[in-house]
Amino acid sequence: MPEHQTLVEVQGLKEYFQINTGFFRSRPLKAVDDVSFTIHKGETLGLVGESGCGKTTVGRTLLHLYKPTAGKIIYDGKEIESRESIREYRRKATMVFQDPYSSLNPRMTVSDIVAEPLDVHHLTANAKERHERVLELMGLVGLNSEHASRYAHEFSGGQRQRIGIARALAVNPEFIVCDEPVSALDVSIQAQVINMFDELQDKLGLTYLFIAHDLLVVRHISDRIAVMYLGRMVELADAKEIYDHPLHPYSQSLLSAVPLPDPKIARANKRIMLTGDIPSPLNAPTGCPFRTRCRYATAKCAESMPPFEKVADGHFVACHRVKEIN
Amino acid sequence: MALLEVNNLRTSFFTDAGEVKAVDGVSFFLEKGKVLGIVGESGSGKSVTAYSIMQILAPTGKIVGGSVKFDGRELVGAGEDVLRTIRGNKISIIFQDPMTSLNPTYTVGHQLEEAILLHTNRNRKQARERAREMLELVGVNEPDKRLRQYPFEHSGGMRQRVMIAMALACEPDILIADEPTTALDVTIQAQILELMQDLQRKMGMSIILITHDLGVVAQMCDEVIVMYAGGICEQGTADEIFYNPKHEYTKGLMRSIPTVGNDGQRLQPITGTPIDLLNMPKGCPFAPRCDNAMKICLTQRAERMQINADHAAACWVNVRDGLNAGKGGEANA
Ligand SMILES: Nc1ncnc2c1ncn2[C@@H]1O[C@H](COP(=O)(O)OP(=O)(O)OP(=O)(O)O)[C@@H](O)[C@H]1O
Ligand SMILES: Nc1ncnc2c1ncn2[C@@H]1O[C@H](COP(=O)(O)OP(=O)(O)OP(=O)(O)O)[C@@H](O)[C@H]1O
Ligand code: SF4
Ligand SMILES: [Mg+2]
Ligand SMILES: [Mg+2]
């Protein structure tokens, strides 16, 4: 295996939201619970899992957009904790959002949207430099210079997503959290934006945490993939490895459920059906979070939380029975 | 005679900016017990085709031509009394946006029961039992509690499942499902698709499945219609469409999606921007984005041509390559 340089390291990350449950009463909603992983420099780590499992919260907490309830975030060897370190970190790590329609201010011109981070971080010396940098960024994402003075609402979904990405690139980031960046786009436009992420990574050496619910898109773009369930990370492995040999019972069902765009394969595909719904994170089961839907669950699964452990080179799984069932 | 016959259907919206020809000459047959997929770009007229069949268009929309026959009976121009016996009973629809189609002021259980009472021969008690059964069937936990709740108390996925339960509870001959699982997680999607397939086999129901997900189409559909700019650009069996696409838009679509086969390769996107129905090009509507467009494509629209018994497409490339077996032909390839 090639040597990897760690860029982002997350240890025991927790993000609990206090939810009001009545007069002066509240309960913690454990959106992210004790999650640890690393992201290598220059790689794309895909993050998948059902709606509400905590993907966005991981991304936001990782960027200190939410203050972590517990845990450590170490970037390039330095713990991000003090106000100073957070400020510096924000120039290296940024985010691209899902919805190209609502994440851009319709009353701002493209030029002002892209330049906003330049202004916030005082990255250009004068108006001329600012303008040149804006045009350069727009060029990077395949937008014309004539677009600069137009308003965001005049653009199609794919173009708006490009504007969002140009803005994210303004600070010259090394690391970008991409939260469902192509989900709102039409299929024919998705491919354009996916390719752009690929090309920017090659050109600028970027590192991505790529969150998406389309598992084929994630497989396509990611080097490694992490699977979450109910606030916990349950599996992490090389992208191809996890598709070919998922080891956690949840990943096995999740991946078998993906409809493949090939009629002969799709018809023959054996799906491992899950019954019922994902439990509420306010009422997470004891022990393994997946046990209420797991066909392998035993008494032990209700008693204790399975540790997230290495089962093969670069392959981590949190399941008491991983050895027996595979 | 097919169960549903759609012939040269044309539906327009009359807006301040002009006539929007949302559906422009759509023809197909749907046989009993078959699953027909409709795919195509956003805005290509998939939903409007469905709404036209049900005749539930927005006030500015109008069917301006063509015919829709259910079991031999013409629905275009039919009176409300006739349509009322068709909608829900014979043809049910699951809408793209579940929130707009549930009444926020009644409990979910009440709405399900009413639909069942209206469309099947059951009494109140049986309807209540059926409602509970259907919720269970679509994978809703604690169905008794859910039945007493209002739509806003349900998550998006839950509401979509209620809509599906409601459409299926009436045991229609045809289920039109407009992006029924797009908002759902894949594991829930798998449950719902399996449920639909199961009911389709057991009850001999026909399904029109509108989706942008080619994986869902591959898994579910016998036949596929590909739409572009209000028209059908290609139509055939699922195997023909996936393994032998014969319209440049379909070919582009297949190349632009990640598959297990194109691992590690760059995707090949369709370039350019989606069509503007108010500014339609003169020739083939896909010509401005087509890599293989010829002179004739820019001036003249290709007619639908048979490729083989299971397949028809409207693309000049097939004429150039001598692949067209004949003009027109049966609506369903
Ligand atoms: N600001 C917040 N306050 C309270 N609860 C929150 C907040 N943000 C998220 N949650 C809850 O935390 C859990 C995880 O949410 P999150 O948005 O991270 O999920 P996700 O995996 O990104 O889901 P999706 O795929 O739907 O985007 C959910 O139960 C959600 O309701
Ligand atoms: N009420 C309306 N008034 C004016 N134009 C409309 C109306 N409803 C639909 N249209 C137009 O008709 C065309 C077809 O719309 P339709 O909703 O059928 O597309 P679609 O193929 O279902 O797209 P999507 O995949 O986004 O659901 C679009 O160009 C749309 O803008
Ligand atoms: S720990 Fe038990 S319940 Fe959890 S996934 Fe493994 S077998 Fe299933
Ligand atoms: Mg999210
Ligand atoms: Mg639609």
pLDDT in tens, A221-277: 999 999 999 999 999 999 999 999 999 999 999 999 999 999 999 999 889 988 767
- Identify the pLDDT of residue A2: 59
* Cβ of B226 less than 6 Å from ligand 2: no
Atom of ligand 3 nearest to the CA of A291: 3
- Identify the pLDDT of residue A219: 94
- Identify the pLDDT of residue B333: 45
Closest listed residue to residue A48, CA positions, set A228, A179, A217: A228
Helices A187-204 and B248-256: crossing angle, nearest 10°? 40
Is A1 a residue whose pLDDT tops 70? no
Q: What is the pLDDT of residues B259-316, one digit of tens each?
A: 877 777 889 989 887 788 888 899 999 999 999 999 999 999 999 999 999 999 999 9
- Identify the pLDDT of residue B300: 95
Residues with CB under 5 A from ligand 4 (ion): A 56
The continuous run of DSSP H or E covering B295 comes out as: helix B295-299
Average pLDDT over residues A3-13: 93
Least confident of A133-137, A259-263, B3-7, B154-158: B154-158
Task: Name the DSSP letter for residue A129.
Answer: H
Is A288 a residue whose pLDDT tops 90? yes
Sequence-distant (6+) residues with CB within 8 A of B155 are none
Per-residue pLDDT band for A307 (boundaries 50, 70, 90) equals very high
Per-residue pLDDT band for B44 (boundaries 50, 70, 90) equals very high
Q: What is the pLDDT of residues A178-204, one digit of tens each?
A: 999 888 788 878 898 899 999 999 999
* Cβ of B141 less than 6 Å from ligand 2: no
Q: What is the pLDDT of residues A104-126, one digit of tens each?
A: 888 889 999 999 999 988 889 99
Cα(B99)–Cα(B93) distance, rounded to whole angstroms? 14
Per-residue pLDDT band for B95 (boundaries 50, 70, 90) equals confident
**Using a CB-CB distance cutoff of 8 angstroms, which residues of chain B are in contact with residue A260?**
215, 218-219, 259-260
Percent of the residues in chain A that have a pLDDT greater than 90, as a whole number: 71
* Cβ of A68 less than 6 Å from ligand 1: no
- Identify the pLDDT of residue B246: 97
Residues with CB under 5 A from ligand 5 (ion): B 46-47
Mutation choice for A interface testing from B142, B154, B267, B289 by most A CBs within 10 A: B267
Q: What is the pLDDT of residues A290-301, one digit of tens each?
A: 999 999 999 999
Cα(B23)–Cα(A141) distance, rounded to whole angstroms? 34
Average pLDDT over residues A12-19: 95
Cβ atoms of B206 and B33 within 8 Å: the answer is yes
Helices and strands (DSSP H and E) totals, chain A: 12, 12
The continuous run of DSSP H or E covering A71 comes out as: strand A70-75
Identify the residue whose C-alpha is closest to ligand 2 atom 4: B13
Average pLDDT over residues B196-209: 89
Cβ atoms of A169 and A206 within 8 Å: the answer is no
Sequence-distant (6+) residues with CB within 8 A of B227 are B26, B38, B39, B40, B41, B44, B45, B46, B49, B233
Sequence-distant (6+) residues with CB within 8 A of B22 are B11, B12, B13, B45, B48, B61, B230, B277
- Identify the pLDDT of residue B99: 60
On average, the pLDDT of chain A sits at 92
Cα(B87)–Cα(B56) distance, rounded to whole angstroms? 10
Per-residue pLDDT band for B328 (boundaries 50, 70, 90) equals low
- Identify the pLDDT of residue B205: 92
CA nearest to A191 within chain B: B269
Q: Can you list the domains of chain A with their CATH numbers?
A: 6-92+173-325 (3.40.50.300), 108-171 (no CATH)
Least confident of A33-42, A256-265, B146-155, B229-238: B146-155
Average pLDDT over residues A79-92: 93
* Cβ of A53 less than 6 Å from ligand 1: yes
Closest listed residue to residue B158, CA positions, set B141, B178, B175: B141
- Concatenated DSSP letters for A132-180? HHHHHHHHHTT--GGGGGSBGGGS-HHHHHHHHHHHHHTT--SEEEEES
CA distance A194 to chain B (A): 8
- Identify the pLDDT of residue B326: 62
* Cβ of A17 less than 6 Å from ligand 1: yes
Rg from Cα positions in chain B: 21
pTM, full prediction: 0.90
**Using a CB-CB distance cutoff of 8 angstroms, which residues of chain B are in contact with residue A194?**
258, 267
- Identify the pLDDT of residue A92: 94
Average pLDDT over residues A161-166: 89
Contact B189 A190 (CB under 8 A): no
CA distance A55 to chain B (A): 14
Per-residue pLDDT band for B252 (boundaries 50, 70, 90) equals very high
Diameter of chain A measured on Cα atoms = 68
Average pLDDT over residues B220-227: 97
**CA distance readout (Å), B36 to A239, B31, B199, B220:** 34, 9, 15, 9
